[in-house]
Amino acid sequence: MKKIQGTVYVVRDDIDTDQIIPAQYLNLVPTIPEEYAKLGSYALCGLPDGYPPFVKPGALTADYPILIAGRNFGCGSSREHAPVCLGAAGVKAVVAESYARIFFRNCVSTGELYPFETPIRLCEVFKTGDRAEIDVGGAHLTNCTTGKTYSIKELGAVAPVVEAGGIFAYARKSGIIK
Amino acid sequence: MAMTLTEKILARAAGKRVVGPGDNVWVEVDILLTHDVCGPGTIGVFQREFGKMAKVWDPSKVVIIPDHYIFTADEKAHRNVDTLREFATYQKLAYFYDPGTPTYKGVCHVALPQTGHVRPGEVIFGTDSHTCTHGALGAFATGIGNTDAGFIMGAGKLLIKVPKTMRFTVNGTPPPYLMGKDIILKIIGDIGFDGASYCAMEFAGDAIRHLSIEERMTICNMAIEAGAKNGIIEPDAKTFEYVKAHTHKPFEAVYGDADAPVESERTYDASTLEPCVAEPHVPSNYALARERNDVKLDRSYIGSCTGGKITDFLAAARILKGHKVAIPTFLVPATVEVAEDIIKSEIDGKSLIEIFAEAGCEDIAPPSCAACLGGPEDTFGRTSGTEAVISTTNRNFPGRMGSKQSRIYLASPLTAAASAIRGRITDPREFM
């Protein structure tokens, strides 16, 4: 079963879509390939001062395939630019205590990233820069820096949709649409 | 089985006799709304998945209202409106409200009911989280992303989960200093920024029935600020009067069953609620205006889908009449109709436009979303430094109005106007 490995970036509660992708960059259209890539370069640039830059200046992608968050990640706008910019920046999964509804759905329908949930407040125990590994099928997350393993909620029917690359790709693959 | 208002609308749209919370159902869509920020991406998904030359499922049900980045020199913003225009022409869409032409309207959530596209009992999806506004007229309305919207464009339906209903009953008569914004900020303050996640927020009670349709829209607009899927108010005589004044299209209103079980119930007495603000940086950060007199402000902003309707400008003018503002005060009517009403409406024989000019407000901006969400750097009213802003908008996230260092206090137009006069957060009762 699939594993996601890499360095984590940690944020806390109520990270809204304006922090994920500030509105001034919404003139970029996610379905235009070069603008999709450009969106990645702005991922999480709206975080308050004090957070280290998520994407290094001049880079298009981040060095963090795993995001760890607190409650209500992705709250605010329905802008699909939010999961898209994270996916474009190379994020493969978010592990949060909870999500705002539209952001969660947009992660799944676009297939940009896995939106894992966990009852554990991981944003208190992980530090940006820790190495981690997510076992997608086994529903657990290991902090390779500390060696500790945490259980995460199984994604159920959501996992194969993200795996396929979104709702349209999944529907074609599984014969729901031609 | 007894059903709530939201459940009944979804049951009808799904062609089922009964649905309950948690059921996943395919619903037929009455209106798909999009705008210049998410429309081009939605069209991109639709054409990628259904084919470059594919036709939308129903050209009378796709409504495109550009409103976000209209009065800007930003080239991509203009390109995005061009994309919408070409698509609307090719698809022969019945309702495309084109910037720079007499059909231009302004902010989609105020324009949608004004153009008669919101009808009780119908199902509305929009590529904007504040689509929940339209529940104020007894419709089911919620925000979605581009991919779901692209699916609806081709298929005319969407698979959704029926939300649990949380009911908020507001009793009594709202005092003249209390506005819809004060009621919804109090509720969000009580239940929290994610207190209604995945749920329907149903607003009921005498105080809600007492409110105008515009004030009800202010309340439903901010359901998303508690994480809700939709906000909704049962239609009544006021609703029907409003809807019939804007469309001749027939509709069939839906009412909830009185004995339908709900997830939770909260009751408020309007007479005990007070003018308030939401302090930075979440809308649930509730404080009474009178207890925040020490907060110095740099700017007052009246506009947006939740705070730029004619009722909002009438409220602000009641306070500003005969006074001078102490800080720059920005006025952005949501739509062309609101802008026209500002010219036509009078208080004691004086037009609102005169009242605002005499108070020293900035010149009234053309209708659009403007600085509510920051936007391109040349956006009217956008913050660029450490400004403290009192604003009738709906979000006070870091950087929401432009600068990450600025601080936004959300408030009713009465409170925003009173605070503009003092240059500090001020309870409007001081001027009433």
> Chain B: nearest CA to A76, how far in angstroms?
7
pTM: 0.98
What local confidence, expressed as pLDDT, does residue A178 receive?
78
From the list B68, B194, B373, which residue is nearest A72 (CB)?
B194
Q: By C-alpha distance, which of B125, B37, B48, B45 is closest to B81? A: B37
Whether pLDDT at B271 is above 90: yes
Mean pLDDT across the stretch A39-43? 98
Nearest CA in chain A to B49: A168
From the list A27, A71, A72, which residue is nearest B74 (CB)?
A27
What local confidence, expressed as pLDDT, does residue A177 receive?
83
What local confidence, expressed as pLDDT, does residue A176 receive?
83
ipTM: 0.97
Helix B413-422 to helix B310-320 angle (10° resolution) is 30
A155 part of a folded domain: yes
Mean pLDDT across the stretch B171-193? 98
Please judge whether A75 and B193 are an interchain contact, meaning their C-beta atoms are less than 8 angstroms apart: yes
- Chain mean pLDDT for chain B: 98
Q: Does B152 touch chain A (CB under 8 A)?
A: no
**Angstrom distance (rounded) from CA B109 to CA B307:** 11
Q: Does B145 touch chain A (CB under 8 A)?
A: yes
For B357-397, write each residue's pLDDT tens digit: 999 999 999 999 999 999 999 999 999 999 999 999 999 99
Domain membership of residue A19 as a residue range: 3-173
What local confidence, expressed as pLDDT, does residue B313 receive?
98
From the list B49, B69, B143, which residue is nearest A78 (CB)?
B143
Whether pLDDT at B195 is above 60: yes
Q: By C-alpha distance, which of A10, A21, A15, A86 is closest to B397? A: A15
Q: Does B51 touch chain A (CB under 8 A)?
A: no
A39 part of a folded domain: yes
For A92-121, write each residue's pLDDT tens digit: 999 999 999 999 999 999 999 999 999 999
CA distances from A99 to A14, A15, A118, B4, B129 (A): 9, 10, 11, 25, 15
Contacts of B393 in chain A (CB under 8 A): none
Whether pLDDT at A1 is above 70: no
A63 part of a folded domain: yes
Q: For position A71, which CATH number holds?
A: 3.20.19.10
A41 part of a folded domain: yes
Whether pLDDT at B340 is above 70: yes
Whether pLDDT at B344 is above 70: yes
Mean pLDDT across the stretch B178-203? 98
**Which 3 state secondary structure label does DSSP give A59?**
coil
What local confidence, expressed as pLDDT, does residue B281 receive?
97
Mean pLDDT across the stretch B91-107? 98
A50 part of a folded domain: yes
Enter the DSSP assignment of B271.
Answer: G
Mean pLDDT across the stretch A153-178? 92
- Structural domain total, chain A: 1
Residues of B78-110 as b/e, b for ≥16 C-beta within 10 angstroms?
Answer: bebbebbbebbeebebebbbbbeeeebbbbbbb
> Chain B: nearest CA to A177, how far in angstroms?
10
CA distances from B104 to A28, B69, B72, B333, B368 (A): 23, 13, 15, 13, 10
Whether pLDDT at B251 is above 90: yes
Whether pLDDT at B1 is above 80: yes
Q: Which helix (H) or strand (E) holds B288?
A: strand B286-288
Contacts of B48 in chain A (CB under 8 A): 31
A178 part of a folded domain: no
What domains sit in chain B, N to C, each tagged with a CATH number?
5-268 (3.30.499.10), 276-431 (3.30.499.10)
**Angstrom distance (rounded) from CA A46 to CA A19:** 4
A10 part of a folded domain: yes
